[in-house]
Amino acid sequence: MKLAAVSAGLTQPSSTRLLTDRLVEATVRAVGEEVEVEVEVVELRDLATEIANNFVTGFAGRALRTAQEAVTSADGLIAVTPIFTASYSGLFKSFFDVLDPEALEGKPTLIAATGGTPRHSLALEHALRPMFAYLHAVVAPTAVYAAAEDWGNDDGLPDRIRRAATELSGLMSHRAPAREERLVPFAEQLAALTREP
């Protein structure tokens, strides 16, 4: 099973990457030891130049292509962004803008964000969830927001992480295999209608 995690933190160390790592660990635990989980973490700060070049040229560089393939081929996705000006970061949005629009269709996805204050927690519901719904991802019901005050205490963040990871694990385990569709030519459809029973 493959799990991809996209972290849009800009600093090093980054609370966004810390939250990403905690969500990955919790998801791997929730999947269980009997299933091997291959994890690929995509650090968007390292891809900023290639993402910008992709907008200008229409072509993805090698590192960006590798990141896109990691996300596309994964059985589940964890997407984590810092909140800037009450929404996801521009770098986060830009990565998903240069991804194939159908790449996330049906993909189990956990959304999460970090911010300085709890007041920005609704950005998950008014910005991230609609974006991933537009991309036809299957978004876990629990979104995880970590404000600065959530770090270093056990008041709720660990429970939210555990709940969200369990939901993502369940979605990944029950993901329906891709269905191969066959286009039926119109003449064949018409012939089927005109045949006598």
pLDDT at position 74, please? 97
pLDDT at position 176, please? 43
pLDDT at position 174, please? 80
pLDDT at position 196, please? 59
What is d(CA 112, CA 51) in angstroms, rounded to the nearest whole number?
21
For 124-134, how does the pLDDT look when each residue is reduced to its tens digit (9 = 90+)?
999 999 999 99
What is d(CA 50, CA 65) in angstroms, rounded to the nearest whole number?
9
Residue 179, pLDDT above cutoff 50 = no
Residue 181, pLDDT above cutoff 60 = no
pLDDT at position 85, please? 87
Q: Report, as an integer, the average pLDDT of 65-73.
A: 96
Closest CA to 69 of 168, 2, 139, 138: 2
CA-to-CA separations, 82 to 172, 176, 185, in angstroms, rounded? 25, 31, 48
| Average pLDDT of the residues of the chain | 91
pLDDT at position 33, please? 87
Q: Report, as an integer, the average pLDDT of 145-169.
A: 90
5 burial (CB, 10 Å; 0-12 / 13-18 / 19+) is: buried
Q: Contact 121/90 with Cβ under 8 angstroms?
A: no
What is d(CA 5, CA 76) in angstroms, rounded to the nearest whole number?
8
3-state secondary structure the chain: CEEEEEECCCCCCCHHHHHHHHHHHHHHHHHCCCCCCEEEEEEHHHHHHHHHHHHHHCCCCHHHHHHHHHHHHCCEEEEEEEEECCEECHHHHHHHHCCCCCCCCCCEEEEEEEECCHHHCCHHHHHHHHHHHHCCCEECCCCEEEEHHHCCCCCCHHHHHHHHHHHHHHHHHCCCCCCCCCCCCHHHHHHHHHCCC
Residue 180, pLDDT above cutoff 80 = no
List, in order, residues 6 or more apart from 21 with CB less than 8 Å away: 41
Residue 54, pLDDT above cutoff 90 = yes
**Cross-strand bridge partners of residue 130:** none
